[in-house]
Structures are given as C-alpha cells and as structure tokens.
Amino acid sequence: MNKIALIFTGGTIAMKVSSKQQGAVLGLSPDEIVDTLHTLTDFEHLVPHAFADLPSPSITPVRMVALKQVIDSYLKDSEFAGAVIIHGTDTLEETAFFLDVVSTSPKPVVLTGAMKNASEIGYDGMTNLISSIRVVMESHSHGKGVLVVMNYAINAACEVMKTHTLNLDTFKSLDFGPLGIIDDEDVIYFRNQTQRKDYRLRPAISPDVFLIKCYAGLDGRLIDFLVDTGAKGLVLEALGRGNVPPDMMPAITRACHQGIPVVIVSRSPGGRVLDTYGYPGGGKDLIRVGCMLGGSLSGPKARILLMLALGNGFDREGIRHLF
C-alpha cells in the first residue's frame, strides 16, 4: 500500500502568465508538474490523474460529487495509501469540507494548491505538493478526515478557511490552530480534533440552497425572491453571535413556515453562533420562528452541509441534529 494518487483539478498551481491574455492562465499539465516533482524528490509510486483543468471558481458542487467518485476509485484499491487533490485556492475549503462530510475511508485525503503561479518568484506549488505527499505517507494521518496542506501547515477541512487574498500563509484554522506542521521531511501532529463529526453522508446534493450575508439595514426582499423562485434551503451569515436586522424577520418567518430550512451562522470569521439575544432579530427570535444554528461553520461550509443534508433526505429535525 504505497501508491499515492495525485488528482489534478487545475488552479494557480498549474498556471503561468500569458502575454496574450495579460494574466495568469492554466498552462502546466499534470505530467509536467509530476516530472518537475521527480527532479526535486525521490518519491516513487505517484499516479497522476487529470480530473479537470479549471480555476477553482469553476468547481461546482456537481463537480465535487464527480471528484468524490474518482477519489473513491483509488482509495478502494489496496495498493493506494491515499490521495492528494491539487486544487485552486478560491474554493478549496468548500471542496475539502464537501469531501470530509462524504468521507468513508480512513485513508488520508489531502487538498493543496498554490498562491503564486509558476511564472512568479516564490512559486509555492512544488513545496505544497511535496508537503502534501509527505502527509499522505505519514501513518498518523490515517483517520483524521480530509486535510488541507499549505505553507507547511496541516489543517482540518472542517476548520480551515482562506484568510488572505495574497499571503502564502492564507489557510488558517482561526479558532483552533493547525493540526500539525511539515518540518523538513518530518510530519508532526500537535493535536487531534475532539469535536470532529463523522458525517459519512452520501454524495447527493440539493442544488437550490443559497447563502445571504447580512449587513446593517438589510431587509427581507432577497429572501422573499429566493423563496418565490424555488429555494430549498437558506444559509444566513448573520451578525456577530447570530443576529439579523429586524426588517428581515417577516421574510425569515415566512420561509420557515413554508418548510424551508434556514441555517444561521456568523459573518465573523471566528467563534460560534448561539441564541444569546432576545431582542427583535436576535438569536432567540430566530430560533422561535424555526431557524437552526450552524455552530462555528462558515457560510460556504454551512451551505455545502445543507445541500448534502437535503440531498440525503433529512427532515428538519435531522438537519438540526446534523448541524
């Protein structure tokens, strides 16, 4: 069991600057990246797979389902130790979380990418790829769920988020810190996830789930429009501890009474939501009309989980328990 699947989806790691398009575009093939990797390391038994050649804004939940099927085809093979998914960074945390929620194998699955393209000084693609392969090879990586490896840090898919548009050290678990690091050839784990949920959901999604970010003065027109045009679920990135402007409440109440699950998370990057406040639009008001709290999940991750919950046929109580 020593083969490692390298599954390429595209992203900055496979980009170069094009004078014609005057910007970074996809220009490196999986074979070129693996050939470069072989000149830098003595890794053996790497099996490249060209799943897609896309920037990560083009990675949709439907493509995530297809990616899961490809990953499973390798993990079911006893000759494979695990898989590295090479992915653009813009939606990497969503794909990582999706794969974590539908994961059924203890074998390590690692997502990685690059913040700089291959034409830039300081290209970080090879460093991140080498680090990711080392994490898959490490026996202590088994059973930790899907991992994200960037800039020598190992983060859990359910905790990590992209925090900066430019910095190499952009993927962070703001509340809890990394699970570990890669130091030279050593993979060092500092902690385990004591609160990790083992979801094991089927990779089936309900597509009409939408995310709304709350702000001062927002009313319910966006919610009314989404409900009237067939929304199956809503995630609200609420203010602070989990509160919304009071003018949103009639539309939220209508959505809940029509059986549409409404999940509340926070637009703050750290901390969890809780029904602390009892004023109009506060957390207790939202719970009273039928909303559900999404814990410490970000808005994009809560949307992924709600899409999967509905795709798996969960009822309201099942969804509440899932979150």
Rg (CA), the chain: 20
CA distance 202 to 206: 12
CA distance 299 to 265: 6
The pLDDT tens digits of the residues spanning 167-219 come to 999 999 999 999 999 999 999 999 998 888 889 999 999 999 999 999 999 99
The whole-chain average pLDDT of the chain stands at: 95
pTM metric for this prediction: 0.96
Would residue 12 show up in a list of annotated catalytic residues for this protein? Answer: yes
First-last CA distance in the chain: 35
* 79-107 average pLDDT score: 97
Q: Which of 26-30, 58-62, 79-83, 99-103 has the lowest mean pLDDT?
A: 26-30
CA distance 301 to 71: 20
Domains of the chain: 3-189 (3.40.50.1170), 209-322 (3.40.50.40)
Residue 191 pLDDT: 95
Has residue 1 got a pLDDT over 70? no
Q: How many CA atoms lie within 13 A of 30 on its CB side?
A: 19
> How far apart, in Å, are the Cα atoms of 42 and each of 130, 133, 157, 309?
11, 12, 28, 43
Contact 199/297 with Cβ under 8 angstroms?
Answer: no
CA distance 256 to 250: 10
Residue 165 pLDDT: 97
Residue 122 pLDDT: 92
SS3 239: strand
The pLDDT tens digits of the residues spanning 228-282 come to 999 999 999 999 999 999 999 999 999 999 999 999 999 999 999 999 999 999 9
CA distance 283 to 266: 11
| Sign of the torsion angle spanned by Cα atoms 129, 130, 136, 140 | negative
CA distance 233 to 251: 13
Compare 18 and 179 and report the one with higher pLDDT: 179
Residue 206 pLDDT: 96
Nearest to 151 by CA among 137, 132, 165: 132
Check 9, 12, 89, 253 and give the catalytic one. 12
